[in-house]
Amino acid sequence: MLRWRCALNNCKQIRIFALLLLVISSQWTFAASPEAKYSRDGMVTSRSELASKAGIEILKSGGNAIDAAVATGFALAVTYPSAGNIGGGGFAVIRLADGNVVTLDHREKAPASAHKDMYLDAEGNVIKGESRNTHKAAGVPGSVDGLLTMLEKYGSKSRKEVMAPAIRLAKKGFVLNRDLTRQFNNVAQRMTAYPGSMETFTNKGEKYQIGDIFVQKHLGKTLETISRRGRDGFYAGPVADLIVAEMKRGNGEITHKDLQDYQSVWRAPVKGSYRGYDIWGMSAPSSGGALIVQMLNMFEPFDVKAMGWGSSEVIHLMLEGERRAYADRAEHLGDPDFYEVPMAMLTSKDYAKMRFSDFEKEKASDSNAIGAGSWPAESPQTTHFSVADGDGNLVSLTTTINSSYGNKIVVQGAGFLLNNEMDDFSLKENTRNQFDLIGRSANAIAPGKRMLSSMSPTIVTKDGKPVLVTGSPGGSTIITTVLQVVMNVIDHEMNISDAVSLPRFHHQWLPDRVFYDEYGISPDTKKALEVMGHKDLKVVPWGRGIGDANSILVKDGEISGIHDPRNEGGAVGL
């Protein structure tokens, strides 16, 4: 367990956090135990225990972590449809057994017909809901191409083998638990205009009940087509025809050519260093890799460990770093194929030093007075899973359809949801998206462009050896969730259970507001932060906790994994 330290707020804080642990344990009785699972041969942890077991099934049959990740990704499309998907996209950070780290960008793209002002009315105002709740909200999906590209390049199993668990789960069905039953019954109320969605998420027009068997015959057929035909099973042929027909029904933008033209991109990873550890993240159009490295660079000169986890001193430090990093996100990050992202600047230790030079230890900055930095010499529904095998292969993969259940539209006859990722573009300069993130010209809409993302799949190594695999959903809170898991492991020397389970906080520059998990900031710490000038501290009610960091720690040859106890899920060891 943690060794609690007295910091700025005196020893009263220790008693508060001791009570906190008891409260947390009682709050999490509805979920699986927050205790980690252990293995020396392999681990998969995800938002769905069934999907994690699909990955382990592949590891047991002799597959590697990449094979298991592909199996888990396809299984999540069946067992966790609100975010697991074949109608969305994502990013993967892969550490190979030989020590090399590669990253795959399979983020969605804007259709060829997209343009900068496509969601604005004649007066130049954003049309409410157009980029979130319509067929026009969907970007060209990348998940299928991404998973198959990973498998072809680094996997050892066939498509048929790795997709078999997902196909079985779709065709034979699985028992609905309380979590999914509640989700389906809530979301169906917003799907009444879409026959494919109502067919999927209602039981012949009636509400699903806990214990019902959830069968997805159309999705099973789609997965079988992909298994048999590969990429052409989705981006061409009958499935592509169904996607385009769905677009035509609702005045959507995706065409056959958009689907045929989609390609994943292997990109150079973002690499940083922090206290002797190597931090590997995803490059743009992810903003996570750059911002996590930038903030760690800001914090490295400070003795975070001595400050004490949960103290007002360390929270103030981290909030100020977050404030500056998210300001840079708004200005400098976008699709590097369309915009020259200053990645070297953002990840430079010298830049971080300059960017943090106005930090005051006892005074909060005013977000309205902080703009994006410059270099004198020249940023809610997603899911993350982590995979490790016994040979040192690691996969950190975050995938999304953006909002929970995307745009709520299931492709008729194909059985999968469409994303609403177009909302992640900057619809209008300095206008907030659904996560209150500000965007500017770097993330403006353009044909074939990938929208900026906060997804932050991350791998940590030391001396070339695996240490941590982590990531999270949560929109704008993804980056700060991953940051805190990394710092909990490195600075506070926590085991994986504590590093993931303990409360988190979040700041994103604008709005100038601090969010924190229920019970996450003690009353005296909150008061101290307010005295420093931190504004509008708001608790995130339990059940809507910050992040969902399904993570793996490797130490002394032992692999420990945990699914984030804020939600359902499963860590399964080999």
3-state secondary structure 245-308: HHHHHCCCCCCHHHHHHCCCEEECCEEEEECCEEEEECCCCECHHHHHHHHHHHHCCCCHHHHC
How big is the chain by its Cα radius of gyration, in Å? 22
Active site residue 382: yes
**Is residue 453 helix, strand or coil?**
strand
How many Å apart are CA 315 and CA 521, to the nearest integer?
A: 9
307 class by beta-carbon count within 10 Å (0-12 exposed, 13-18 middle, 19+ buried):
buried
Q: Are 299 and 321 in contact (CB under 8 A)?
A: yes
How many Å apart are CA 73 and CA 419, to the nearest integer?
A: 16
Sign of the CA dihedral with 86 first, then 90, 95, and 100 last:
positive
Category of 163 on φ-ψ map: left (φ > 0), alpha (ψ -120 to 50) or beta: alpha
Q: pLDDT digit of tens for each residue in the chain (574 aa)?
A: 333 333 334 333 433 343 344 334 333 333 333 689 999 999 999 999 999 999 999 999 999 999 999 999 999 999 999 999 999 999 999 999 999 999 999 999 999 999 999 999 999 999 999 999 999 999 999 999 999 999 999 999 999 999 999 999 999 999 999 999 999 999 999 999 999 999 999 999 999 999 999 999 999 999 999 999 999 999 999 999 999 999 999 999 999 999 999 999 999 999 999 999 999 999 999 999 999 999 999 999 999 999 999 999 999 999 999 999 988 988 888 899 998 999 999 999 999 999 999 999 998 887 776 655 443 332 356 899 999 999 999 999 999 999 999 999 999 999 999 999 999 998 877 555 554 555 557 889 999 999 999 999 999 999 999 999 999 998 789 999 999 999 999 999 999 999 999 999 998 887 778 899 988 899 999 999 999 989 888 888 655 789 999 999 999 999 999 999 999 999 999 9
The pLDDT of residue 374: 41
Tally DSSP H helices, then E strands, for the chain.
Answer: 19, 19
> Of 315, 363, 356, 301, which is closest to residue 7 (Cα–Cα)?
315
What are 415's two structure tokens? 């059985």
The pLDDT of residue 27: 38
387-405 per-position pLDDT tens digit: 999 999 999 999 999 999 9
- For CATH 1.10.246.130, the residue range(s) in the chain are 267-381+454-515+525-557
Contacts (Cβ under 8 Å, ≥6 apart) of 30: none
The pLDDT of residue 540: 81
Of 382, 383, 477, 481, the catalytic one is 382
Domain 267-381+454-515+525-557, what fold?
A: Serum Albumin; Chain A, Domain 1 (1.10.246)
The pLDDT of residue 35: 85
The pLDDT of residue 23: 39
30-70 per-position pLDDT tens digit: 333 368 999 999 999 999 999 999 999 999 999 999 999 99
Question: What pTM was estimated for this model as a whole?
Answer: 0.90
Give 574's Cβ-side CA count (13 Å radius): 24
- DSSP code for 452: P
The pLDDT of residue 377: 31
